[in-house]
Amino acid sequence: MEVIETKEALTQALQSCRDSRISIGFVPTMGALHPGHISLVEQCRKENSMVVVSIFVNPTQFNDQSDLANYPRTLEEDLYKLSSVGCNYAFAPSVKEMYPEEDTRKFDFGMLDKVMEGVHRPGHFNGVAQIVSRLFDAVQPDKAYFGEKDFQQLAIIRRMVAMMNYPVQIVGCSIVREADGLAMSSRNMRLTPEQRQNVPAIAHTLLACKEKIGCMSLDELKNWVVDRINNTPGLQTEYFDIVDRDSLQPASEYKENALQGCIAVHVGTVRLIDNIRL
């Protein structure tokens, strides 16, 4: 595996693949890699001849500066993990390399970013689109892999790709969970042992919610989920929404297989998200 720090070196390294039409798969990450990321890299490895993984903590997608400062950075360990799962190029640029000057682009995602994370993290998806478009320009992948834990992000990226006509196939990959159900996240490593014991309640509540579909109205179900989470020690719901899987707009009635329950929960200073198909 080669570690590359500049766009120019990456473009050069990948030029021969493009010339000989070797398929390039890409997994963008912010590092602090866990088995969820590794499963994306493994899927990418199976489906492409060349695997590129980026590690870049993107400042423009953090609306909270303390969240950016506290985001875990474990580059050495990340590179070690990537080298053992068949990554060909690890792209780990500096902030100056990705943003030589301020990115002032404003993306219009219609109603997709007017709900959930878009409301609670203003500017977040604009920052995600800024960096993902810059990474796509540098890598020019045939396929790019994103986890479904960030369900809204996946929809936003698909929209951005359509708007900007990128010739890349976006592959959504299932959430990878710990044995007790907790969705894997780089933020989990910031939980105290006590918080770690309590957070599986998030996934358990989402599963219970799925089973209760049809037994009560969607509004009652939403209240039931919020109460159950908030009654778990140390957990505070930021939002729980039941939305249409395509438009991401809040649903008013049950439609089979067309809805997604999406939640954000504060656990002390850590913020976790999860979702489930209903």
Choices 12-20, 24-32, 169-177, 226-234; region in contact with ligand PAF by CB under 6 A: 24-32
| Smallest distance, ligand PAF to C-beta of residue 224, A | 29
Distance CA(171)–CA(156), nearest Å, equals 13
Distance CA(266)–CA(25), nearest Å, equals 34
Q: What is the DSSP string of 55-100?
A: E---GGG-SSHHHHHHS---HHHHHHHHHTTT-SEEE---HHHH-S
| Smallest distance, ligand PAF to C-beta of residue 80, A | 19
| Smallest distance, ligand PAF to C-beta of residue 251, A | 25
Q: Is 266 in the active site?
A: no
Provide the Cα torsion 27, 31, 32, 37; round to 10°: 0
- Measured from the CB atom, the residue of 146 and 209 that comes closer to ligand PAF is 146
Residues 58-97 that bind ligand PAF (CB under 6 A): 58, 61
How many residues appear in the chain? 278
- Measured from the CB atom, the residue of 1 and 68 that comes closer to ligand PAF is 68
| Smallest distance, ligand PAF to C-beta of residue 147, A | 7
- Of the residues 131, 170, 225, 263, which one makes contact with ligand PAF according to CB under 6 A: 131
Residues 152-191 that bind ligand PAF (CB under 6 A): 153
Tokens 């070196």, residue located: 9
Q: What is the largest CA-CA distance in the chain?
A: 58
Told to check if 132 binds ligand PAF by CB under 6 A, we report yes
Q: Which of 37, 120, 124, 266 is catalytic?
A: 37
Distance CA(170)–CA(26), nearest Å, equals 10
Structure-token pair, residue 170: 């976006």
Query: Which residues lie closer than 8 Å to 235 by C-beta, 6 or more apart?
Result: 198, 199, 201, 202, 229, 265, 266, 267
- Of the residues 7, 26, 28, 33, which one makes contact with ligand PAF according to CB under 6 A: 28
- Of the residues 128, 156, 173, 242, which one makes contact with ligand PAF according to CB under 6 A: 128
Distance CA(9)–CA(7), nearest Å, equals 6
Residues 210-269 that bind ligand PAF (CB under 6 A): none
| Smallest distance, ligand PAF to C-beta of residue 61, A | 6
Which chain residues interact with ligand PAF by CB under 6 A? Answer: 28-30, 58, 61, 128, 131-132, 150, 153
Catalytic residues: 37
